Amino acid sequence: MRSSVNPKLKAVLFDRDGTLVVDVPYNGDPTLVRQMPGAKIVLDSLRARGLAVGVLSNQSGVAKGLLTESQVADVNARVEELLGPFDVWEVCPHGAADGCPCRKPAPGMVHNACRRLGINPSEAALIGDIGSDVRAAEAAGAAGILVPTPATRSEEITEAKLVARDLAGAVQLLLEHT
């Protein structure tokens, strides 16, 4: 059953670090994974509405030699243990200088996730804690919502079209306004 509030919305994609889980820079240790307040409740409510959920994560630590892809996979598995199953995962292991079309703020991961889910990007939204998350969503044709943290720069908040105080507020905005 799809959302009765907004039938256009079919998937909500999330940034991982700083959005779903507490940001631990270049984390390769699953024991350090801690969920953000309210994340599990929000995800469960989306799943109950029949919406797909996914994670899109830049992991430049792999390109920098600070993490292995196996460590990233182990951390992602821990995220799923804490927050439940995700319909799609997209991880970009490239660095900012690599010119990768999937690395946020490029739209590649949003496009890939939507293709894998069988939906149009206009039927998806991406919730994240920094401007590159919102810019990736908008570049792909999806809705982008910023949930600021202390790491979010003030100009990113000013530039964002949709800003929410927390994950629950972001989902409420999506269900009412996309």
Catalytic residue list: 15, 17
Residue 105 preceded by cis peptide, ω within 30: yes
Check if the beta carbon of residue 124 is closer than 8 Å to that of residue 142.
Answer: yes
Please state the three-class secondary structure of 139-171 as a single string: HHCCEEEECCCCCCCHHHHHHCCCECCCHHHHH
User: Residue 154, exposed/middle/buried by CB under 10 A (0-12, 13-18, 19+)?
Assistant: exposed
Tell me the CB-side half-sphere exposure of residue 87, using CA atoms within 13 A.
23
Check if the beta carbon of residue 126 is closer than 8 Å to that of residue 108.
Answer: no
Check if the beta carbon of residue 128 is closer than 8 Å to that of residue 143.
Answer: no
